[in-house]
Amino acid sequence: GTACLLQLSEVVEACCAFLKKQLHPSNCIGICLFADTQGCFSLKTAAHNYTTEHFMEVIRNQEFLLLPADEVAKLLSSDDLNVPSEEMIFQALMSWIGHDVTNRKKGISKLLGLVKLPLLSPSFIADHIETEVLFREDRGCQELIMEAMKYHLLPERRPMLQSVRTRPRKSTVGVLFAVGGMDANKSGATSIEQYDLRANK
């Protein structure tokens, strides 16, 4: 019995090591879910990191469009998603909803709440979100849109309107530069350090 179990765990480990090398935008979500069920932590981490790093390609694949709502929620709530702007997160959500509108419009406000609407431009909100029929029929969505509008209309109240939705994702912040030191001739900075929030280095 024990020998059989040990052999099985070796097979699972070998399988996980193999899958780690196969990661691709078309399969990384599935591999992540598989690793989770098999308790293969290192593969799960690798697949999750791959998914967040290549998110822009991942969302164009069938695997993303077929995900259940709770898995989409887990993805959208990650601050590690590598996206050029928050608009991309909204577009990803809309393409996922569009894949099966009838069944997916039910829990729509929970998912819209994971998009950082206050960080979208007022014109984007007016042109793409305010006009969306799906959101008009949902009170929760209306409240989220109102919150984003207030954030833009009342800049002086922004300190009171802080929430998860007003904190940018790491990739949209860009890279921080620390410029410091002067040489003896006071001719300028002697050191420039760069820090990337996503890479944490």
Q: Which residues pair with 175 in a beta bridge?
A: 196
**Residues in CB range of 114: below 8 A, 6 or more apart:** 73, 76, 77, 89, 93
| DSSP run (H or E) holding 175 | strand 175-182
Domains of the chain with bracketed CATH = 1-66 (no CATH), 83-168 (1.25.40.420), 172-201 (no CATH)
- DSSP H helical segments within the chain, as ranges? 2-21, 28-38, 41-53, 55-58, 62-65, 69-76, 86-98, 101-104, 108-112, 122-124, 133-136, 139-153, 170-173
* Per-residue pLDDT tens digits of the chain, which is 201 residues long: 665 666 677 888 888 999 999 999 999 999 999 999 988 999 999 999 999 999 999 999 999 999 999 999 999 999 999 999 999 999 999 999 999 999 999 889 999 999 999 999 999 999 999 999 999 989 999 999 999 999 999 988 888 888 889 999 988 876 555 555 555 555 555 555 655 665 666
Q: What angle do CA 52, 58, 61 make, to 5 degrees?
A: 160
What six digits make up the tokens of 80?
Answer: 């590690």
Residues 170 and 178: beta-carbon distance below 8 Å: no
Comparing C-alpha atoms, which of 175, 168, 164 is closest to residue 197?
175
In angstroms, rounded to a whole number, what is the distance separating the alpha carbons of residues 14 and 7?
10
